[in-house]
């Protein structure tokens, strides 16, 4: 009998909202839960965590459009938005301390901070990943490795980036499924990998492109890179491709396999490994949302559960006891349940 542990989280809190929340950032102890909103405000959702202890203190006046990137280290948070700005915030003072008015030339898609808190990375539709000094905001490197046009001559987009656990490398992912691995210290390209199954080209109905890599994450040992997005689409006006994951061997630059959901469709907006690297969590959606857990070694789905709205971003608490999520008109908190043991049936045993 082979035993496998099922990773199970149960939805504990769900808050309906008037705004759309695109990004989030947590403190190490989840003392604050901020989300980037569609009106340019950084919402303080701490009352959703502990209503009796916290009074919400939104951060306003910095951005004028969708806040699509948010990252935190210590008491400093960095936000990025469609207005092309990068803003550093002092959370104790509740005010901005540094503004890069034109951090990028087109819509800014994501912001990450290196594990050691020394480097800020931002990606945008100008197809450049920029590395900034966390303390001073000084530009360190511009990483050019993604084409501005798709093979079918439409605008491409640079959706995501992620640092390796040691902070020495960063991976970036674009619309056509190209992943580029970079050396953070030098800003030089190490290698590239392709995941073309995430890209759809419609040559008939709309003559347009859709898809792309929407999320990336290194395994805890830095040897595996997980990517998330959406499979091939028939009607590009709707996010009706299967939720799609692909794993890569970082050293070899080769695909380790693809996992697609037969139950849920839409974009995998966030991917995150468990602490031992044996399981992977993915969240996202189409008009609805979902939370999917995968067994990395067996490359199969363990559990998958739906929610009421598209989830744009999620983050685990430091002890992995909770998952915080934001999306279309909703904010969520899941709590981890006791791991269940699932036993394989003996060969020849049929379910009644």
The 3-state DSSP class for residue 148 equals coil
pTM: 0.92
The angle subtended at Cα 304 by Cα 245 and Cα 317, nearest 5°, is 85
278 burial via Cβ count (<10 Å: 0-12, 13-18, 19+): middle
Tens of pLDDT, residues 92-140: 999 999 999 999 999 999 999 999 999 999 999 999 999 999 999 999 9
> Hey, where are the domains in the chain?
3-18+69-315+332-341
Q: Write the pLDDT tens digit of every residue in 158-201.
A: 999 999 999 999 999 999 999 999 999 999 999 999 999 999 98
Q: What is the mean pLDDT of the chain?
A: 91
**By the 8 A CB rule, do 152 and 144 touch?**
no
Superfamily designation of domain 3-18+69-315+332-341: YVTN repeat-like/Quinoprotein amine dehydrogenase (2.130.10.10)
pLDDT of residue 207: 82
How many residues are there in the chain? Answer: 352
Q: How many whole angstroms separate alpha carbon 79 and alpha carbon 63?
A: 9
């Amino acid at each position: 009998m082979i035993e496998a542990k099922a990773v199970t989280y149960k939805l504990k809190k769900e808050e309906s909202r008037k705004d759309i929340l695109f990004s989030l950032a947590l403190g190490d102890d989840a003392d604050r839960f901020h989300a980037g909103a569609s009106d340019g405000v950084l919402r303080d959702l701490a009352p959703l965590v502990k209503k009796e202890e916290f009074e919400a203190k939104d951060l306003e006046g910095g951005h004028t459009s969708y806040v699509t990137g948010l990252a935190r280290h210590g008491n400093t948070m960095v936000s990025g938005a469609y207005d092309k700005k990068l803003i550093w915030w002092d959370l104790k003072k509740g005010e901005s301390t540094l503004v890069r008015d034109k951090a990028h030339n087109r819509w800014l898609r994501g912001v990450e901070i290196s594990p050691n808190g020394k480097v800020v990375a931002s990606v945008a539709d100008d197809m450049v990943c920029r590395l900034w000094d966390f303390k001073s905001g000084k530009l360190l490197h511009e990483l050019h490795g993604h084409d501005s046009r798709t093979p079918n001559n439409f605008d491409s987009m640079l959706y995501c980036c992620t640092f390796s656990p040691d902070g020495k490398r960063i991976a970036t992912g674009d619309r056509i499924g190209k992943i580029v691995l970079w050396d953070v210290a030098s800003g030089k390209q190490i290698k590239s990998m392709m995941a073309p199954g995430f890209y759809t080209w419609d040559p008939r109905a709309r003559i347009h492109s859709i898809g792309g890599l929407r999320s990336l994450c290194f395994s805890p040992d830095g040897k595996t890179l997980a990517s998330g997005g959406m499979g091939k689409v028939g009607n590009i006006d709707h996010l009706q491709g299967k939720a799609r994951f692909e794993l890569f061997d970082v050293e070899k630059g080769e695909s380790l396999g693809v996992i697609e959901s037969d139950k849920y469709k839409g974009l995998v907006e966030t991917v995150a490994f468990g602490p031992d690297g044996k399981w992977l969590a993915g969240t996202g959606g189409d008009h609805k949302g979902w939370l999917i857990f995968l067994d990395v070694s067996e490359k199969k789905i363990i559990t998958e559960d739906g929610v009421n709205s598209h989830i744009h971003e999620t983050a685990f608490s430091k002890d992995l006891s909770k998952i915080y999520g934001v999306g279309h008109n909703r904010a969520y908190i899941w709590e981890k349940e006791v791991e269940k043991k699932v036993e394989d049936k003996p060969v020849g045993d049929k379910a009644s």
